[in-house]
Amino acid sequence: MNTITTPIAPGLWLIDLNFLGNPRIIGAWLLYDGKEAALVETGPASGLDTLIRGIAEAGVPLNALKHLIVTHIHLDHSGAVGQLMRQLPEATAYVHPRGAPHLIDPSRLLQSASRLYGSLLETLWGETLPVPSERVVVLQDQDSVEAAGRRLVAHNTPGHAIHHHAYFVPDTGELFAGDIAGVRMPGYAYVRPPTPPPELDIEVWQQSIATLRQLDLKSLYLTHFGAYQDVEFHLNDLESRLLNWGELVREKLDAGAEEAEVIESLHQQAQSEMEALGIDPAEYDVAASYQMVAMGYIRYWRRKREKG
């Protein structure tokens, strides 16, 4: 059986949830200090069995798991929280104030996800269960959690979603970045901005990147996917592509392009960027598809135009 759990730092493992059979797409970060364990991200409910196998592989007893910390409430990050809570009566979930209502009652989240994914919803994301409200702790900006030997400080980092925290560990310079630091695959110097509808906001995202630059960052831990130490390069590459792709979409829309044409031009742009670097795009395309990226930008620019 393949190993899905990789040690990253003392008391920290990355579990590859092997999303729909694809490695290196969605990760969950497992923390353990010998007494209690925590997860940053749980992945989707469809990855629950793999997640539990990964925790065992790290030698961590499941019932040591006391803290489920999520960066935001997109299903690929937090969809398994409800199911896990049923198995872990002592665990607590931690979330952004604007994400908490959807963790407690995921019905609206699931409605909008089913508009996007249709009949594939359950196949992709599994059964997303509600989380009892008394077991949810809302973290405000700069609030911290002591969990499994690390102190994690929540940083409000909207742009990808309005309900997004990144978690910084001041003692080690580690950042659990969620989606605000983009999508990058191990071995490649290339960062793709995941820009889904409906909350993408380019300027706000830039402000969040500026927030991250003010922290003394040594390691970026991405949910999609892995650990990176070249922080300055990484954030610069993310920011420039976030802006460049945004301009590309805006020009296309100004020229009267339809959605399909926008998707095609993003695809061609990415293909040529990645070919120049010798990158196989398949993993990037699963983690942040052109359709999703295009739809987010299109909605962003239309909303901006409506505002004048």
Residues lying near Zn ion in the complex (CB under 5 A) are found at 74, 179
Output the smallest distance, CB 210 to Zn ion, in A: 20
Output the smallest distance, CB 120 to Zn ion, in A: 18
Residues in the chain: 308
Between 19 and 32, name the residue whose CB sits nearer to Zn ion. 19
Output the smallest distance, CB 138 to Zn ion, in A: 19
Between 74 and 155, name the residue whose CB sits nearer to Zn ion. 74
Q: Please, which residues have CB within 8 angstroms of residue 159's CB and are 6 or more apart in sequence? A: 180, 200, 201, 202, 204, 205, 206, 207, 208, 209
Beginning with the edge strand found earlier in the chain, give each strand of the sheet holding 65-69 in spatial order: 5-9, 12-16, 27-32, 37-40, 65-69, 92-95, 136-138
Q: Are 204 and 195 in contact (CB under 8 A)?
A: no
Output the smallest distance, CB 224 to Zn ion, in A: 9
Output the smallest distance, CB 141 to Zn ion, in A: 18
Nearest Cα neighbor of 84 from 134, 47, 109, 113 is 47
Between 11 and 193, name the residue whose CB sits nearer to Zn ion. 193
**Cα–Cα distance for residue pair 170/217, rounded to 1 Å:** 9
Between 24 and 74, name the residue whose CB sits nearer to Zn ion. 74
Between 149 and 283, name the residue whose CB sits nearer to Zn ion. 283
